[in-house]
Structure 1
């Protein structure tokens, strides 16, 4: 990533609230680069530091240590109104006595923009969020999803270099939230503005993002595309937080690491697997591996299998079926198979099964 491609650069940022023994470290030496024209998501559980980082970029708080740059300019201690950054919060903070158009144009008017410019920008924003027909409706007379669109239009109207979104979909119902995920991605692509989105919802992150930063306890654990984060988690927390995962203990086969970032692992069953190691990791004697339920498969009779057990329960989800298997050596394993109209159910609870782990299905995790 070249300097000219970077919108936001965070370097060694620490944020501490309080002093002494009662001090709380919300962020601990966080560094990350966010590209221009990127939909970048900060993902993690409540209290992980994602909103704190967003507030530091917005200027609502200042870092205890470290540096934040916007297109090469140090903005670490710049007042919020002096930053070309806008924020959309969980509560949309619209003016209920104003119309949709007046809400969208309010910020531009406060900047003393020419009236013709305000009128043209408002019209463009109304088209962008597809609300031309509601321009003269008061915002207390429209739905929650429509209010969300107005808040987005108001934030986009001054064409900021970066738009920060702090869990703006959390108040919407499931179907509307799904629709707005698509809309947000469309808006980002059409405007070319860098979006930094905060959420604890893994599905939102995987659906909308160009890249995702998974956070926990004030640190960024992994940054990558949604596919990289899902298929190749490097930390146990990342693997466990993103989707469903099976964890299996394994041992490194002595003196058989090939020195090229791969190794052979031996499961408790004696079955051996060749798998890649996380970048820079030298395999310890004992490791934990992750296997996604949909990456495993039932072995046919006589086919080599990594695991064996008995089907304990079967859960039908419409699009797929989850098979919960009690393993012979102890523990449980979940296997997921996609359903099709013509597929016949060939398994039942109580049936003995063997499970194979295809090449590439096993991911070694850092401790």
Structure 2
């Protein structure tokens, strides 16, 4: 028996406008999201991630294709008939109501019995750790506390799927990091499927079970954070997720041949021909010039980040790269600008990309 997914999009297309002025926001997107999964739609502005979220929520209808929730075709169902809730960028709380009243509001609108509303509201207040603030108006709360109220209100009716449209974007950096942990905790404790939209790669990597990287209305790659980061399948994905060095090379007989004739054996098979190689800065290290298998490079400058430094270099063919190395505990600096050094990396760090 085939698995019933929490959410599926099958060949979903969404056009805005008609005729020559039509804009295709989603281009034949298919994705299956598992039950109980923290799934992230990641990509730059205008890539289609929010449009896909709105199709799942029912705020927009697909031009063609199908949206299924728990195996049921909901493409034509209005939002209030779907077993989903949404948390938006603006939390849309009622400032004149208390924390408890905001959480209870949705349950009351659904006509739930008063004892159930009271019990569920108390449960949600405890879940988001606002026990001491249940009687406080939301206008008196911090941004992080307001976000917790919005989450509690969305979770209170026990939706099968919770949709989150960049809910952390309005928070400062420190609070955003704290709320990343809170979101993951809530998802694990409730077991509800979370579908999270963001353009922030760090949010996606730290919270997600799986990530779909989107661009131009299409999904380019789906995988775990480790798969997406360590094994990107395209230059766009490699460039969008973290820092990456791109180096031209020629593959021949299972080896990558770089400028200057340096040959490096490939860990995975790749057809012969001209390719783009991606190597993460943290997988490279500086070695003495002339070491076997090392690329020759000239040091430009280094940027100190405390825990590590980013050394900017230029290869023989003019390609600019960055090597990330840990800072020395004695505070010693790295190589001086203008120095010629070697750059080495293990074969497993080499990713041959589809352009």
TM-score, scaled to structure 1:
0.93
Kept in 1, the 8 Å contact 2:267–2:347? The answer is: no
CA offset at residue 77 of structure 1? 1.3
Match status 1:271 vs 2:259 = no
**Aligned with 2:221: secondary structure?**
strand
1:118 & 1:6 partners in 2: Cα distance? 29
Q: CA deviation at 1:284?
A: 5.5
Q: What SS class does the counterpart of residue 117 from structure 2 fall into?
A: helix
Q: How many residues align?
A: 355
Deviation at 1:276, TM superposition (A): 4.8
- Cα distance, 1:348 vs. partner? 2.1
1:291-302 equivalent positions in 2, closer than 5 A: 291-300=279-288
Q: CA deviation at 1:170?
A: 0.5
Give yes or no for the alignment of 1:324 onto 2:312: yes
Shift of the alpha carbon at 1:359? 1.9
Alpha-carbon distance in structure 2 between the residues aligned to 1:35 and 1:277: 30
- Whether the aligned pair in 2 keeps the contact of 1:276 and 1:364 (CA below 8 Å) is no
TM-score (norm 2): 0.97
Counterpart secondary structure, 2:10: strand
Q: In the alignment, what sits opposite 2:21?
A: 22
CA contact (8 A) 2:288 2:341 kept: no
Aligned equivalent of 2:247: 248
Match of 1:137 in 2: 136
Q: Provide the rounded CA distance (Å) in 2 between the counterparts of 1:326 and 1:355.
A: 11
Structure 1 CA distance for aligned equivalents of residues 35 and 330 of structure 2: 46
Alpha-carbon RMSD across the aligned residues, in angstroms, is 1.5
| In 1, Cα distance between equivalents of 2:59 and 2:345 | 49
Q: Distance in 2 between matches of 1:15 and 1:124?
A: 39
SS in structure 2 of the partner of residue 6 of structure 1: coil
Q: Describe the superposition over 1:160-179 as per-residue Cα deviations: whole angstroms up to 9, x where unpaired.
A: 00000000001111111110
Distance in structure 2 (CA, Å) of the matches to 1:75 and 1:276: 45
Change (3 A) 1:346 1:49: closer
d(CA) in 2 for partners of 1:222 and 1:272? 29
Partner of 1:108: 107
- What residue ranges of structure 1 are gaps of 5+ in the alignment? 257-262
Aligned to 1:191: 190
Cα distance in 2 for partners of 1:355, 1:25 equals 44
Measure the CA separation in 2 of the matches of 1:145 and 1:13: 34
Is contact 1:86-1:162 (8 Å) kept? yes
Cα distance in 1 for partners of 2:239, 2:55 equals 28
Give the CA deviation at 1:304.
1.1
Q: For residues 24-52 of structure 1, what are the alpha-carbon distances to aligned partners after superposition, in whole Å with 9 as ceiling and x for unaligned?
A: 00000001111111110000000000000
Q: Shift of residue 344 of structure 1?
A: 3.9
Counterparts of 1:340 and 1:157, CA distance in 2 = 50
Question: 2:350: which partner in 1?
Answer: 362
1:345 and 2:349 are equivalent in the alignment: no
**Following TM superposition, where does structure 1 have runs of at least 4 consecutive aligned residues deviating by more than 6 angstroms?**
none
- Partners of 1:305 and 1:277 in 2: CA distance: 17
Q: Give the corresponding residue for 1:40.
A: 39
Cα displacement (A) at 1:345: 3.2
Q: Which runs of 5+ in 2 are unaligned?
A: none
Query: For 1:7-39, what per-residue CA distance to the aligned partner results, in whole angstroms no more than 9, with x for missing partners?
Result: 111111010111111110000000111111111
The match for 1:290 among 262, 267, 278 is 278
Shift of residue 302, structure 1, vs aligned partner: 5.4
Q: Does 1:125 align with 2:113?
A: no
Q: Secondary structure at the match of 1:178?
A: helix
